[in-house]
Amino acid sequence: MLKRYLERFSWVDFFLRLFQIAIIVALVVGVTNTLRSGKYTIEQWVTLIFAGLAQGSIYALIALGYTLVYGILLMINFAHGDVYMAGAFTAVFLAQSLSVTGFLERHPVWSLLALIALASTVSMVLNVIVERVAYRPLRNAPRLVPLITAIGASFTIEYSFRGLYGAEFRAYPPVPALSGTIHIGGFEVPIVQIVVLIAAVVLMIALYLFIERTKIGKAMRAVSEDKDVARLMGIDVDRTIAITFAVGGALAGAAGIFNGLFRPQGVFFFMGFIPGIKAFTAAVLGGIGNVPGAMFGGLILGVIESVFPNLMLEGLGIPAVNQLRDAFAFTILVMILIFRPQGIFGERLAEKKA
Amino acid sequence: MSKRIFLIASVLIVASMVLAACGPKKPAFECTDAIGCVDIAPDEPVHIAYMLTVSGATAFLGEDSKGAIEIAIDDRGGKLLGHDILLTGEDSLCSAEGGQTAATKVAADPTIVGVIGTNCSSAATAAIETISNAGLVMLSPSNTAPALTIEGETWQPGYFRVCHTDLFQGRVAADFAYNELGARTAATIHDGSPYADQLQQVFAARFKELGGEITFQGAVNVGDTDMRAILTTVAADQPDVLYFPIFEPEGDFIVAQSSEIAGLENTVLMGADGLLADSFPENAGPNVVGMYLSGPYVTGAAYDEFLAKWDKKFGGVPPSGFHAFAYDATNILFNAIEKVAVVEDDGTVHIGRQALRDAITATSGYKGLTGTLDCGDDDYSAFGIDKPSHGDCSTGEALGIFQITEEELNGNWPPPVVYTP
């Protein structure tokens, strides 16, 4: 018995197990210490949770773009964060003029629909162009090659916007209809966060139905299973891939508007970088290539990075926890890659795909 | 063979003697300056440079200073000692990297006599050594971090600042919070830049000295967008005042998100001159109404005249509060150049670099827009600083506390002043 155990024993596994235990102990100790100190009220925790959910739903919408493309092409579209920026940046001008003319105040619903339509169109068209120019000619190239062109596309988009609109920060105007708070279970929650959360969830359900119930969705699933067989079955593979990029881009554009409602400041040419990486983390967290995984991964990441710096790290006596938020989110990415590379909802990928 | 070499050599020697005799007469001026001279030929301009943040989120500071430098040049008809004034510029951004890059470029140009800049203390901290080693003088219109003029900290020979140090600004802000607002507890947030960090330290020290309590001193990262975590930490102690002397857009996020946090309902928000920008109220949104900003406050007939010139040249009002310092800095530089320049009969000008530094240090009783300026050494032992201080021209008189009202949301600028020391 002992002999067999020793034969299988590996120091790497041992240290990983030790690492796992250390993390769990740190988590439990940190959380208990913070809760026992009673420094924060329940209202403050609820504030952080709802802000995290709203932020997470924005991550989720962007993460869907990553995961759709990965599912079908097995590549990471690193320009996706900038596609999101493009929609948000373009729509900020429309939002400002709607606000100045008073239309935003009189017809908030129409205004928001117009903004979402504009941002989604811009992001959609841009994403399709990126696919056509940067990825399609390299469809059969080694897998590292489209990754490099993705980074090139990312810089091209960023600095084109810098050239077009300058490096200043812009801000979405406040939407009067969405200001204020509502009561949920005795807590005051900003209306805008609830609206963003619900709208994002509606879009995600719509996407799920689109993939599962429509003919195009079926084609997308077929191409993601096996491109060659799909082509034999009469599916236009290039067109299906273009549609996938279009859908991902449109969702990113909508996420740009939701972000503008939830967090109006800081619209500038580089704004897509961090949300892009966070959304990628969310997609990996949920299991890359898996659509419901991206939705839940986004929401979970949003809540974790909103709540846990205060909840866990502060209890461990770490100072300036708010500055560690990004570090915390990316530590989670590393943890997933170590302990559960397939993500929460992902299945282990076959050799061909991985 | 050897005969031929001898012949060629002797021809060359004779030729060189003849050429030397016909060549231009050696100038009478000989540079005796310890760190060299700038020589300006009769048809060459006097070259000064700016290193300001003219792009990005803090471009309002750079535009503000640059406009004032141009007005100061216009006031002299574009001429100094009979030469045209040439103004070139580098974008020093509001970062250490930007300051270092700009300084390297400026230091590489031997025709530059002096520099006006930088705007941000972070850029100055990175630039100061390169500029000093190149023998240049650098007059800043808006660096406020105290360490920049303290020997043994950041100061280097050749550096001068015309605006107030934050030893004054932090004190005025703390005095206002404690005495006028009646605050007894305060929290501060900085962004890791020398400007914000040193300013909040001065504020906290003064606030404690007055008898108040500092509940929290924290920092955000430049580029953070979600301030709810740090605001929740601040809210745990429900301080009377939250002082965050940082820049846009991080300041916008703090203001915008502060209303969502339970426990901050009665906390007064206070920023500093980094947020004193005409774009700030609109970007931060309706929560700015009622908040306070400390910053430069200049009055007087000469200043009104300056504003009239600005309106004529650029239209409107300057976008920030440091233009008057930039105007004074440019004039101090020009006066010092005029004082030390050696002008030859044909119009050639020689400027000793060490002599120029000494002349600026000797500037005393200069009546500028921002008060009576002395650029000599200062004694800050009253602020608990024992090290010697050099190059501070300002007396710290031109400071005030502004309060943002509904009017500023609708485009009015600057906001009204509610307190002066």
pLDDT at A353: 47
What lies within 8 Å, CB to CB, of A143 at 6+ separation is: A74, A75
- Selecting from A44, A48, A169 the residue whose C-beta is nearest the C-beta of B57 gives A169
Tokens of A169: 């920060």
Which residue type is seen at B344?
A: E
Report CA-CA distances (Å) from A262 to A55, A91, A258, A297, A304.
8, 15, 6, 19, 18
d(CA A127, CA B126): 40
Q: Quick one: how many helices (H) and strands (E) in chain B?
A: 13, 18
d(CA A329, CA A308): 10
Chain A nearest CA to B289, separation (Å): 14
DSSP string over B230-287: HHHHHHTT--SEEE----TTHHHHHHHHHTTSTT-TTPEEEE-GGG--TTHHHHH-GG
Domain assignment of residue A290, yes or no: no
Contacts of A274 in chain B (CB under 8 A): 223, 225
pLDDT at A163: 87
- Selecting from B257, B260, B283 the residue whose C-beta is nearest the C-beta of A169 gives B283
**Is residue B195 within 8 Å of B154, Cβ to Cβ?**
no
What is residue B112's three-state secondary structure? strand
ipTM at complex level: 0.78
Task: Tell me whether residues A309 and B223 touch, CB distance under 8 A.
Answer: no
Task: Report all structural domains of chain B as residue ranges with CATH numbers, in order of start.
Answer: 38-165+299-398 (3.40.50.2300), 167-297+401-419 (3.40.50.2300)
- Selecting from A44, A188, A326 the residue whose C-beta is nearest the C-beta of B263 gives A44
- Selecting from B57, B236, B279 the residue whose C-beta is nearest the C-beta of A40 gives B236
Task: Tell me whether residues B236 and A39 touch, CB distance under 8 A.
Answer: yes
- 10-residue mean pLDDT series, chain B (421 residues): 65 60 59 90 94 87 94 94 93 92 95 94 94 95 92 93 92 94 95 91 94 94 87 92 92 91 91 90 90 92 94 91 94 95 91 95 92 90 87 87 92 90 83
Domain assignment of residue A212, yes or no: yes
- Selecting from A48, A265, A320 the residue whose C-beta is nearest the C-beta of B256 gives A265
Domain assignment of residue A105, yes or no: yes
Domain assignment of residue A81, yes or no: yes
Per-residue pLDDT of chain A (354 residues; tens, 9 = 90+): 677 777 777 888 888 888 889 988 988 999 999 888 888 888 889 988 999 999 999 999 999 999 999 988 888 899 999 999 999 999 999 999 999 898 998 999 999 999 999 999 999 999 999 999 999 999 888 888 998 999 999 999 999 998 888 777 888 998 888 888 888 888 888 999 999 999 999 999 999 999 999 999 999 999 988 889 999 999 999 999 999 999 999 999 999 999 999 988 888 888 999 999 999 999 999 988 888 899 999 999 999 988 988 888 888 888 778 888 888 888 888 888 888 888 888 765 544 444
Residue (of A333, A334, A321, A191) closest to A262 by Cα position: A191
Q: Give the DSSP H or E segment for B37.
A: strand B37-40
What is residue B393's three-state secondary structure? coil
Q: How far is CA B406 from the centre of its chain?
A: 30
Most B CBs within 10 Å, among A41, A42, A47, to test the B interface: A47
d(CA A41, CA B262): 9
pLDDT at B261: 87
Tokens of A278: 């966070």
Residue (of B171, B118, B111) closest to B141 by Cα position: B118
Q: How far is CA A337 from the centre of its chain?
A: 17
Task: Tell me whether residues B221 and A323 touch, CB distance under 8 A.
Answer: yes
Contacts of A44 in chain B (CB under 8 A): 232, 235-236, 261-263
- Our count of domains for chain A comes to 1
Examine residue A214 and say whether the peptide bond preceding it is cis (omega within 30 degrees of 0).
no
d(CA A248, CA A67): 9
Domain assignment of residue A14, yes or no: no
Chain B residues within 8 angstroms (CB to CB) of chain A: 55-57, 59, 218-221, 223-230, 232-233, 235-236, 248-249, 252-253, 256-257, 260-263, 279, 282-286
What residue of A is the nearest CA neighbor of B249? A266
Tokens of B203: 């504020």
Task: Tell me whether residues B225 and A263 touch, CB distance under 8 A.
Answer: yes
Domain assignment of residue A93, yes or no: yes
Task: Tell me whether residues A168 and B57 touch, CB distance under 8 A.
Answer: yes
Which residue segment(s) compose the domain that A130 sits in?
57-273
Contacts of B249 in chain A (CB under 8 A): 169, 171, 265-266, 268
Domain assignment of residue A347, yes or no: no
Domain assignment of residue A104, yes or no: yes
